[in-house]
Structure 1
Amino acid sequence: MTDIRTAHTSELTAAELFAVRTLLNDAFEGDFTDEDWDHTVGGMHALVREDGELVAHGSLVQRRLLHGGRALRTGYVEGVAVRADRRRRGHASAVMDALERVLREGCYELGALGAADEAVPLYAGRGWKPWRGPSAVLTPTGIERTPEEDGSVFVLPVGTKLDLDGELVCDWRPGDAW
């Protein structure tokens, strides 16, 4: 039996958080850092279980993105992963269904995420749009371009008009900006 639950980080038990971290470590083959973990917590989580066992996860955390002279309240998708032996069964779509529901109902103006190449078909197929303009990060010393991220940032407008060819600037954080 498959069960899908959404919960804030504060509602998850230590055992659930450990299971999420283990899933992410395994799914990203050891390339999931402590900074990546920090980016994943503090918001809403979508957890998919089969027979009580965690098989998929994703989270939505609040960030501010600057675009067109405005700071947009953004729901940023992090930590989307499916256990290797459960892939291609709709679990990532179930995670995104839950997170997109929170995004649309949570007073956000925009959804955003940084997509790995293999995940682009999932997000594009759900209506997420690739950001065509330049990307940047607002660092403690000012705005710095992030050209290595150009083409991998996807957005889902939910409450504001966007110029997908304009500049998009994310708030600074340790580790990966996007």
Structure 2
Amino acid sequence: MDAPWDLTVVHTADLGPRRLREVRLLLDDAFVGDVDDTDLDHALGGLHVLARLDGALVGHAALVQRSLVAGGRPVRAGYVEAVAVAAAHRRRGLGSALMGVVEDLAARAHEAVFLGASDDGARLYRPRGWRVWSGPTGVVTPEGVRATPDDDGGVHVHDPAGALDVTTRLLCDWRCGDVW
């Protein structure tokens, strides 16, 4: 049976103001009171997977490029942002469909793909082969490297070859808002 929703991939440059506003409204709906402008900003500059049902936006996931260092080695990394499914459409496979497209896109452009996940979100990712990064996390700031212990255990990686050692230190590039 075919899925009831239509999935499309659009670059941020082609979203336009109306679709960007739709994404923001979906994020507000999905993460009630837990989304701000920096969260949307983190999802910009890459590819967006949009899921529509009868013309309405019901799901979204973004894949952006980030500079990460794993175990002292730079990683050509994709980073997943703003994965959201409208409340009325959850637990129907839409999150998996969105992630399937993201994982396919990432496999064609990146060595590995990462994301920060809540405990709720981790239930979607782990069965898909995502691994928890068990090593310490940190961020490269203008003042130098700073540990991010609150994010330890919340970063996940999808590298189908399993080449990355998830027990080593993982550093991300600095950005406003949540760095992971």
Common fold, TM-score beyond 0.5?
Answer: yes
The question of whether the paired residues in 2 share the 8 Å contact of 1:110 and 1:160 is answered with no
The question of whether the paired residues in 1 share the 8 Å contact of 2:72 and 2:169 is answered with no
Cα distance, 1:13 vs. partner? 2.5
The question of whether the paired residues in 1 share the 8 Å contact of 2:129 and 2:160 is answered with no
Q: 1:55 aligns with which of 58, 83, 91?
A: 58
The question of whether the paired residues in 1 share the 8 Å contact of 2:132 and 2:157 is answered with yes
Question: How many pairs are equivalent?
Answer: 177
The question of whether the paired residues in 2 share the 8 Å contact of 1:109 and 1:158 is answered with no
Aligned residue number for residue 138 of structure 1: 140
The question of whether the paired residues in 2 share the 8 Å contact of 1:57 and 1:82 is answered with yes
Normalised to the residue count of structure 2, the TM-score between the two structures is 0.95
Output the CA distance in 1 between the equivalents of 2:45 and 2:160.
21
Over residues 31-86 of structure 1, what are the superposed CA-to-partner deviations in whole Å (9 max), with x where a residue is unaligned? 21111111011110011111111100010000011113221111000000000111
Unaligned runs of 5+ in 1: none
Aligned residue number for residue 173 of structure 2: 171
Is residue 129 of structure 2 the alignment partner of residue 127 of structure 1? yes
Aligned residue number for residue 36 of structure 2: 33
Aligned residue number for residue 66 of structure 1: 69
Output the CA distance in 2 between the equivalents of 1:104 and 1:144.
29
Cα distance, 1:110 vs. partner? 1.2
Over residues 74-119 of structure 1, what are the superposed CA-to-partner deviations in whole Å (9 max), with x where a residue is unaligned? 100000000011111111111101111110112x111000001101
Normalised to the residue count of structure 1, the TM-score between the two structures is 0.96
Aligned residue number for residue 117 of structure 2: 115
**What value does the CA root-mean-square deviation take over the aligned residues?**
1.2
Output the CA distance in 1 between the equivalents of 2:93 and 2:53.
12
Q: Matched residues, percent identical?
A: 49
SS at match of 2:179: coil
Unaligned runs of 5+ in 2: none
Which amino acid is the alignment partner of residue 171 of structure 2? V
SS at match of 1:66: strand
Which amino acid is the alignment partner of residue 154 of structure 2? S
Output the CA distance in 2 between the equivalents of 1:131 and 1:43.
23
Cα distance, 1:170 vs. partner? 0.6
